[in-house]
């Protein structure tokens, strides 16, 4: 009787444990993305998209897989993602279910790589043909910057290092590598490099304060959410937002810093008898004109990137009662506004900082005789006469 009672008690526990044991031996699904080519469009029709007032294309395709383990295999699949044409190459999602080995095919994306390669080659040819040796140096600088971002910045952040410290360090390396490769090792380049690094530090402190005062979380889009899930929440998303602001500033900052350093150098060469203070004021005057154009460029560039988002909220205001101030207050908008403001302040700071450092390094105070001034004036008049 005791054995029977024990068997009755143990049997339900054993039955409950069977699914758990089976779950531990479940084979995970295998997903691969491969290229395929449309052989035939069997059928094509429009059908309504559930939950919306619009319709989409639904195709039944015959396609041949071009790579991977199933290369050469012809398959039939349903496509309601993007409209494809006969003979068009696309990317295919091949999912093999672990439980029974069944394969499920779906259209993943269009094959854009040939077009990307074409325009990339066109860009390189244009830079080399029109830019000459400086264009080649610029390409080398671009490659160096991308290497630092892909193989230093991103891995360091993924390994848990502070995005703030890593971004400042990598930004400084990008400035140093890019500047010296493009413009060579000289005092003018050095003054621009020092000006940019000083500007990055000041702007970084301001960006840090702005992000924390506005209480931005770093989760302004789906990409940040997916990244946080994929990394198990190990990345500081606020620090990552800070890093994005700083990296986005570098390109325009580089332009304005080099311009200011060269302005100081040219002013000094044409008028070596002028004191440092006057050269500084003249160079800053040039920089102010530059600021107006670059700030506008930076703001419009951010607006261009966010254009679909602006249209989305613009159209939704007709359905939802949301004030413009409430819309601006949303993190997705507040983040872009902070990017524009901090980036613009960084550009403004770059002018006096770089100009001061360039004047200090490049301009040497010296006593100039009246004869030297006369000679310089004659050279200047001669230059205007022939131009």
pLDDT tens sequence across 220-251: 777 777 777 777 777 878 888 888 888 888 87
The secondary element (H helix, E strand) that includes residue 103 is strand 103-110
What tokens appear for 196 in the block? 């940019």
Task: Identify which of 190, 207, 290 has the alpha carbon closest to the alpha carbon of residue 248.
Answer: 207
Q: What is the 3-state secondary structure (H, E, C) of 61-74?
A: EEEEECCCCCCCCE
Average pLDDT over residues 342-370: 82
Per-residue pLDDT tens over the stretch 104-157: 888 888 899 999 999 999 999 999 998 888 888 889 888 988 999 889 988 888
Token pair, residue 329, equals 């207050």
Residues in the chain: 387
DSSP, res 111: -
Confidence band for 7, pLDDT divided at 50, 70 and 90: very low
Segment 155-176 shows an average pLDDT of 86
Q: For the chain, which domains are there?
A: 30-111 (2.40.50), 132-386 (1.20.1640)
DSSP 79: E
Q: How far is CA 132 from the centre of its chain?
A: 27
Mean pLDDT of 31-46: 89
The first and second tokens of residue 45, run together, are 């029709």
Which residues, 6+ apart, have CB-to-CB distance to 151 below 8 Å? none
The helix/strand/coil state of 33 is strand
**So what's the pLDDT on residue 9?**
47
Instruction: State mean pLDDT over 273-300.
Output: 81
Q: Is 110 helix (H, G, I), strand (E, B) or coil?
A: strand
């Amino acid at each position: 009787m005791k054995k029977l009672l024990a068997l009755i008690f143990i049997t339900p526990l054993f039955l409950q444990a069977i699914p758990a044991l089976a779950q531990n031996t479940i084979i995970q699904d295998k997903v691969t993305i491969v290229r395929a080519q449309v052989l035939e469009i069997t059928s094509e029709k429009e059908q309504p998209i559930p939950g919306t007032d619009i319709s989409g294309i639904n195709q039944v395709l015959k396609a041949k897989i071009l790579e991977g383990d199933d290369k050469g295999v012809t398959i039939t699949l349903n496509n309601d993602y993007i409209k494809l044409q006969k003979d068009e190459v696309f990317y295919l999602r091949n999912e093999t279910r672990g439980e029974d080995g069944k394969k499920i095919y779906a259209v993943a994306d269009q094959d854009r790589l040939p077009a990307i390669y074409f325009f990339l080659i066109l860009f390189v040819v244009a830079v080399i043909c029109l830019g000459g040796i400086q264009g080649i140096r610029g390409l080398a600088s671009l490659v160096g910057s991308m290497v630092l971002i892909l193989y230093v910045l991103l891995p360091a952040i993924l390994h848990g290092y502070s995005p703030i410290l890593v971004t400042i360090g990598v930004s400084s390396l990008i400035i140093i590598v890019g500047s010296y490769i493009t413009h060579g090792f000289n005092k003018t380049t050095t003054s621009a490099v020092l000006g940019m690094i000083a500007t990055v530090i000041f702007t970084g402190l301001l960006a840090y304060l702005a992000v924390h005062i506005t209480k931005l979380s770093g989760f302004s889009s789906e990409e940040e959410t997916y990244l946080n899930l994929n990394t198990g929440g190990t990345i500081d998303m606020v620090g990552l937002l800070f890093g994005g602001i700083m990296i986005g500033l570098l390109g325009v900052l580089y332009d304005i810093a080099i311009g200011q350093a060269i302005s100081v150098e040219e002013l000094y060469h044409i008028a070596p008898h002028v004191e440092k203070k006057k050269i500084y004021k003249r160079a800053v005057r040039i920089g102010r004109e530059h600021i107006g154009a670059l700030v506008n460029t930076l703001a419009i560039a951010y607006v261009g990137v966010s254009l679909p988002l602006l249209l989305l909220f613009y159209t939704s205001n007709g359905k939802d009662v949301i004030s413009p101030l409430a819309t601006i207050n949303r993190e997705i908008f507040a983040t872009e506004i902070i990017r524009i403001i901090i980036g613009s302040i960084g550009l403004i700071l770059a002018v006096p900082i770089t100009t001061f450092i360039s004047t200090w390094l490049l301009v040497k105070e010296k006593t100039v005789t009246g004869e030297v001034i006369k000679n310089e004036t004659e050279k200047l008049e001669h230059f205007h006469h022939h131009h």
